[in-house]
Structure 1
Amino acid sequence: MNVLMVSSSYPKFPGDVTAPFIESIARAVAARGHEVEVLVPHHPDLRRPPGEPVRVVSYEYAPREGWSLWGYAQSLHADVRLRPAVYLLAPLVALSLRRALGALVSERRYDVVHAHWVVPNAALVVDIVRAHRVPFVVSVHGSDVFLAERSRAAGALAAAALEAAGRVTACSEDLRRRAVALGAPEARTRTVPYGVDTAAAPARPCAAMRERLGAPPGARLVLALGRLVEKKGLGPLVQAAAGLRGVHVAIAGAGDLREPLRRQVEELGAPVSLVGPIEHTEVPAALAASDVVAVPSVVDHAGNVDGLPNVLLEAMAAGRAVVASRVAGIPDVVHDGANGVLVPPGDVAALRAALQRLADDEALRSRLGAAARATVVARHGWDAVAARFEECYAEASALDAR
């Protein structure tokens, strides 16, 4: 099949941590023998090397390089509200994206157009795709559904795109239900969790990486990876860390809450290092250096929440013991006491107790880590995920052929 994906985020260069799961989906579909192109907005740092299995096509929309603020995790402030520049750029993006997509589908025969994020991408291209009678698949990822639930205008745009799609995929059952509430026909929806590379053996622990993550000699290392935004639950994690014994917490990532988190660490005297972002290629080494991985997601004050944090699957594939919140799509994958530990979102005492218990019990960490890896190897390899998308493409095509 010839597959055209439309996305507003994509790794700008090898190792970039911007939406690596989109690249992984595209590569996994391509690895099953399909031709895959991805249409993305221009960014001055977009540098994809030649010869890649996925062809990345960018469209220009900003009259000046400094105005390239659309997508690539730049559009939302703290993952809660749209930045003012987004409203100014929206007409330019809409015009440029629609022009670029129209040219592509006119020049080449695509078997399916797969839009990531119902707003803005699916909403902006749905009429062009349907006018060219190309099967249409939409994937919702979380922040798009959140925006559509909060805004009447975004909700109307999302509903039109979801209703027109041959298939709608969501990374968790919770997110699928929310997409149905927005207007997706339930019979056309599918839950397709993200995948993870299960082929490679977990990396070996590295003393240099532990040092980089700030772990003192002899301390158990708890690692949290992700953007520094409220829904990641890093504030409660810092609070929990303040009462831990013999444990150091490393938070790796960048975002709008870095300074508030730094102040919180300082005020509490918590054993926490804010180590900044690490490249995606370094994630396996960081996971291997840790003893426990924390994924303390919460519903933020505006109602936004992760669908299924990809770092959770990466940690499980690495054989790490995980402590995660019982929220959104996380309980779809983590079963309390079997392959990880679940705690109520935002419950500092429960989070602290779970982290301390795992830090103190090496046998428990080992058992949960082995079970976690077995879970993702059995169900979440990228080839299995790509096969699910392949099924969705075929089902959307069959629907159009009626």
Structure 2
Amino acid sequence: MNIIVTTSSFPRDKDDYKARWILELGQEFLKEGLIPYILCPHVAGSKDYEVIDGIEVYRFRYAPEKYESLGYGNFLPHEKCSSRIGVLIQYCFNSILIASMLFFMSLSLHKLRKKKNAELIFSNWAFPAGLVSAVYHQISGVPSVLKVYGTDLVFLKRFKLRSLGKYILNKHDSVIAISDYTKDYALSFGADSEKISVFPVGSNYPIIHPQVSLDNFKGKWGISGRPVIFTVHRLIPLKGTSFLIKAMSKIVSVHPDALLVIGGEGPERNMLESLTISNHLEHNVLFAGLVPNEELPLFYEACDVYVIPSITDKWGNAEGLGMPALEAMSYGKPVVGFDSGGPSMTINDGSNGFKVPEKDWEAMADKIILLLSDPVLRNKIGVTGKSIFNDEYRWNKVGQRYAEVLNNAVKG
């Protein structure tokens, strides 16, 4: 069965990891007898058409290339700007392009569905792809399934578009939420609970690089022989990095050689570096910048504890799932996080990690200290987390569940 997968974010080339889980899910679809064709916005430097890992990718044009800036995180200015003025300016600019994107996505969807004789549309994110597929489903009757992530629903809520959100959610045959937290958010819009399933984003982790020595990797980054705490994310308010740096000021009083490795870039980096200096933590905090894809698994393997300090930001956004924490679990690493958003439901306190009250950095420090001080407990929790990951989050388990929902939508 041929299906059209619509999305506003996708790897921009074969080596890009942006929203790569959609590509990985497409590969799982192939194993289940579903033939996916990806439809996503064009972005500067990408090809209009290419085949990545056996999957055809069609990128539609909606503006002159230098203005094709929507999607890939740019619908959500909180990822680009930390000030309200910056967010407002970016939204004003984006709003000029949104109508064009919606029109050309709709037109491209219709043409591609006809060309491939596709029997189903599978959309990622309620806006813009979900809106397009909802309208198309209502007009054409072609079966459709929507996957929501959380940030897309916050986007609609922020602009008081609850009615539109309810329309989008209920005009699909089925809705897949990536966590119970995201499902609850969808229900708050008035979504039909009978239509919603909860399946996480899957993963092919752990990835092992036998050609790279872990000892050499540790030597390269100067982390040999030190207790290592790792976190990786965009440096934006939502990710709560400042609370983890504050926690380090308490952690080093017990483990003076402990090292926090922060992977990622973003608008908060200068502020976070200043916070590190003001707390005299230059010896204990390493800003690794954008971590190359081939090195990310090695950081997971090298760390003793993984931390996901995400919070609910001032816009109302919270972490939908927290994929890096799950990837760390695949390496048998205990996870510590705040009781916020999706991670509050994926972390089973005392089982695969610890969760503490949101923004309580002292409580977070206490749990990290406990894990660093007790290797037996650390290993026990890590083993449990790895077992949970293998049972619930690996693509070979999750992909079949997605395929079942899509097949049922076509059968009616």
Q: Deviations over 1:73-119 (max 9, x none)?
A: 23322338572321121122112111111111222221210110001
Partner of 2:406: 393
Equivalent-residue separation in structure 2 for 1:369 and 1:88 (angstroms): 48
Q: Aligned letter for 2:60?
A: Y
Which residue of the other structure, out of 314, 317, 329, is the alignment partner of 1:316? 329
Say if 1:339 and 1:368, in contact at 8 Å, map to a contact too.
yes
Secondary structure of the residue that 2:406 maps to in structure 1? helix
CA distance in 2, matches of 1:276, 1:183: 41
1:255 to 251, 266, 270: 266
- Counterpart residue number, 1:219: 226
Q: Which residue of 1 aligns with 2:373?
A: 360
Match of 1:195 in 2: 202
- Of 311, 320, 336, the match for 1:307: 320
**Structure-2 change in CA distance of 1:281 and 1:13 (3 Å):** farther
Query: Over residues 312-362 of structure 1, what are the superposed CA-to-partner deviations in whole Å (9 max), with x where a residue is unaligned?
Result: 110111111211222222243321111212222211101111111112222
For the residue of structure 2 that corresponds to 1:152, the secondary structure is: coil
What SS class does the counterpart of residue 92 from structure 1 fall into? Answer: helix
TM-score using structure 2 length: 0.90
User: Aligned partners of 2:9, 2:170: CA distance in 1, in Å?
Assistant: 23
Question: In structure 2, do the counterparts of structure 1 residues 343 and 229 end up closer, same or farther at CA, with 3 Å as the change threshold?
Answer: same
Distance in 2 between residues matched to 1:335 and 1:34, nearest whole Å: 34
Quick one: structure 1 residues 372 and 240, their matched pair in 2 at CA, closer, same or farther if it must change by over 3 Å? Answer: same
- Give the aligned partner of residue 70 of structure 1: 70
Partner Cα separation in structure 1 for residue 147 and residue 52 of structure 2: 27
**Contact 1:172–1:192 at 8 Å: present in 2 too?**
yes
Counterpart of 2:42 in structure 1 is: 42
Larger relative contact order (Cα-Cα within 8 Å, sequence gap ≥ 6): 1
Q: Which residue of 1 aligns with 2:298?
A: 285
Contact 1:173 1:329 in 2 (8 A): yes
**1:114 maps to amino acid:** F
In the other structure, the counterpart of 1:117 is 125
Measure, in 2, the Cα distance between the counterparts of 1:331 and 1:272: 25
Whole-Å Cα distance in 1 between the matches of residues 359 and 213 of structure 2? 30
Q: Does the 8 A contact of 2:244 with 2:309 survive in 1?
A: yes
Counterpart check, 1:157 vs 2:170: no
Q: Alpha carbons of 1:268 and 1:205: their partners in 2 closer, same or farther (altered >3 Å)?
A: farther
Task: Structure 2: state its 5+ residue gaps.
Answer: none
Q: Distance in 2 between matches of 1:46 and 1:316?
A: 33
Residue 59 of structure 1 aligns with which residue?
60
When normalised by structure 1's length, the TM-score is: 0.92
SS in 2 for 1:78: helix
Please give the per-residue CA displacement for 1:277-319, whole angstroms capped at 9, x wherever unaligned: 1133332111111111111111112211011011111011111
CA contact (8 A) 1:196 1:376 kept: no
Q: Secondary structure at the match of 2:294?
A: helix
Q: Work out whether 1:3 is the aligned partner of 2:16.
A: no
1:148 equivalent in alignment to 2:156? yes
Q: SS in structure 2 opposite 1:157? A: helix
- Tell me by how many angstroms 1:7 deviates: 0.5
Amino acid at match of 2:273: R
- Whether 1:180 and 2:187 are equivalent positions in the alignment is yes
- Structure 1, unpaired ranges of 5+: none
Q: Is the 8 A contact 1:238 1:265 kept in 2?
A: yes
C-alpha change, 1:198 and 1:33, in structure 2 (3 Å) is: farther
- Distance in 2 between the 1:289 and 1:355 partners? 16
C-alpha separation between the residues in 2 aligned to 1:51 and 1:149? Answer: 35
Aligned-CA RMSD value: 2.1
1:10 touches 1:23 (CA, 8 Å); kept in 2?
yes
**Deviations 1:180-199 (CA, angstroms, capped at 9, x unpaired):** 22132110011111222257
Deviation track 1:127-184 (CA, whole Å, cap 9, x = no partner) reads 223323211101111110111222123x332221111110011111111011122132
CA distance in 2, matches of 1:142, 1:118: 9
Give the distance between the partners of 1:123 and 1:211, measured in 2 at CA: 49
C-alpha contact 1:214 1:273 (8 A) present in aligned 2: no
What does 1:224-235 align with in structure 2 at a 5 Å threshold?
224-235=231-242
Instruction: Note if contact 1:30-1:53 (Cα within 8 Å) is conserved in structure 2.
Output: no
Counterpart of 1:347?
360
Q: Displacement, 1:211?
A: 4.4
